[in-house]
Structures are given as structure tokens and as C-alpha cells.
Amino acid sequence: MSLKLTLEYDGAPFVGWQVQPNGPSVQGVLQEAIEKLCGSPVRVTGAGRTDAGVHARGQVASLEAPRHLPLSAWAAGLNAHLPLEIACVRAEEAPPGFDARRWARGKRYVYEILRSPVRSPLLRGRVWEIRRPLETESMRAAARALLGRHDFSAFRAADCPAKTTVREVRRLDIEMERVGPEAERIRLTIEATAFLKHMVRNIAGTLVEIGHGKRDPGSIDELLAARDRTRAGQTAPSHGLCLDEVFYLPGNADPRAEDAGED
């Protein structure tokens, strides 16, 4: 039985999604919980390979599950074996061969910033805390230039393994909410067909520099054309980032079947 698991997690205690030798990973802890639940080792595939410290509200994992365990037992059973930092929000049967990463049609990430002269103990580890004021209108103007299909080489990590650096950004919103007399919570919501390593964090870091007046909003076009990571802004801290949702075709259908039918 092919399973689709929707997961929520606090990324702070983990070295990232992927199993690594230098510490606990979300994938590794999840696989251990599955083995305890069903009695046999199972490998899971994640839709997004979130970095160390990155959170998730809608990560998706796929696996081939043994038939002896009913579908209704999966979410509650997993949560009984998972640490408090990880929760299985939903478990559902998927079409045969479902692959959370390869079948995804897009993802949405949210990056959160707290602009305040005073630190927030309650939001610590969930937002990028910035003391200086930000000009959000300049940030919005710059963000519009990132919409559409572009080569995002300037916004990928130096060790990004992607074979192609062209991506399509469908949405990039910047919302501001006043949370105090001198404080604002700023949310960057970005949707794309796929992302490069550190792409969202590098975009966030560059937009913050624009909000601080260090760069002109019109400089985005130049950065995209230059395709040079060293010319873009800093990489924003990982703890402000959250994988919000992964998109699939209706019924979690295989996108390769749809693509094969196109002229």
C-alpha cells in the first residue's frame, strides 16, 4: 500500500530532513517510528529536503507500507512513537508508486521576520529578528521582478546540486502585521514549481537588504541576469523558514501520466 503522510515539525533539534551521520534528522526519526509501529524497516521519501533548523507545517512523505496495519491506525500510531517536535497530521492511501518528491507540482514556503527594537522570547527560533526598520513597499516592488520563469543562479547555494537553475515563481507576497507600537511581523509567502537549495533564504536575505536601503528595488533584474551568487544578498537564518504546503494533482495522481498526454 502506498501511503502519503502529511507532517508538521519543529526543525530546531534536527540536522535537516535527510538522514546524516552528524545528528538526528526528521527522516531518520520518522523511519525509526515507522519501524516500531509496523515491525519492519521502511524507507520514506520527503517532498522537500529541508535544511537544519527549517520548520514544516505541510511536509509530505511517501512510503510503501505493509498491508497488515489498517490505514486508520497510521497517524495515531506514528504520533505515539514520534517525539514532540514531529507530528503526523494526516495519513492517506495514495496511488500505487506515489513519490512525494517526484510527483509534487509545486511548494509553498513562508519566511517570517519580526522587526522590533526588543527581542521576543516567545517567537525566538520561529522568526528572523531584525532591529532596524524595513521599507516593505520597496521589498514588494523588488519581489514583483522575481515572479515568473527565471534563471535563479544568483539565489542558490554554492553547493547546490541542481542540474538546471531555471525555476518558475508563481507567487511572492509580502504581508506586514503590526504587533506592537514599534514592532511588525513580516511574512514572505513564496510558491514555485520547485526550488533551488537555499533559494528562499537567499531571496529573503536580499529583500531585507532592499528593505534596509542597501540595494535598489530595481537591482533584482541585474541579479537575475548576472547569475552570480556573490552579487546577491545574505542567506537569511534557517529558523525563519517553514515549508507550508506541497501541491499535487487531484487524487495525488502521477503527473507523468498527464504530461504524456500533452501534444
Average pLDDT of span 230-240: 97
pLDDT of 263 above 60: no
Give per-residue pLDDT as tens, 38-66: 988 999 999 999 999 999 999 999 999 98
**pLDDT more than 90, % of the chain:** 90
Q: What is the pTM of this model?
A: 0.94
Q: Which long-range contacts (CB under 8 A, 24 or more apart) does 248-255 make?
A: 248/60, 248/103, 248/104, 248/105, 249/103, 249/105, 251/95, 252/4, 252/92, 252/94, 252/95, 252/98, 252/103, 253/95, 253/103, 254/95, 254/97, 254/98, 254/103, 255/103, 255/105
Give per-residue pLDDT as tens, 129-188: 999 999 999 999 999 999 999 999 999 999 999 999 999 999 999 999 999 888 999 999
Which is nearest to 155 in space by CA: 221, 235, 212, 217?
235
**In whole angstroms, what is the distance from residue 139 CA to residue 176 CA?**
11
- Report the pLDDT value the prediction gives residue 261, as an integer from 0 to 100: 41
pLDDT band (50, 70, 90) for residue 257: low
- Report the pLDDT value the prediction gives residue 69, as an integer from 0 to 100: 86
> Which residues are known to be catalytic?
51
- Residue 144, C-alpha cell as written in the block: 514583483
Spatial CB neighbours of 150, under 8 Å, sequence gap ≥ 6: 166, 167, 168, 169, 224
Is 3.30.70.660 the CATH classification of the domain at 106-246? yes
- Report the pLDDT value the prediction gives residue 180, as an integer from 0 to 100: 86
Spatial CB neighbours of 212, under 8 Å, sequence gap ≥ 6: 132, 134, 135
Per mean pLDDT, which range of 9-13, 67-71, 98-102, 243-247 is the poorest? 67-71
Which is nearest to 136 in space by CA: 99, 178, 168?
178
CATH code, 2-102: 3.30.70.580
pLDDT band (50, 70, 90) for residue 258: low
pLDDT band (50, 70, 90) for residue 121: very high
* Domains of the chain, residue spans: 2-102, 106-246
**In whole angstroms, what is the distance from residue 230 CA to residue 204 CA?**
15
Hey, do 2-102 and 106-246 end up sharing a CATH topology, with the first three levels equal? yes
Alpha helices in the chain (DSSP H): 26-38, 74-81, 136-144, 199-211, 219-226, 255-260
Residue showing cell 501511503: 3
Average pLDDT of span 75-94: 97
Give per-residue pLDDT as tens, 89-114: 999 999 999 999 999 999 999 999 99
Alpha-carbon distances of 13 from 29, 120, 125, rounded to whole Å: 11, 20, 11
Which backbone phi and psi does 27 adopt, to 5 degrees? -60, -45
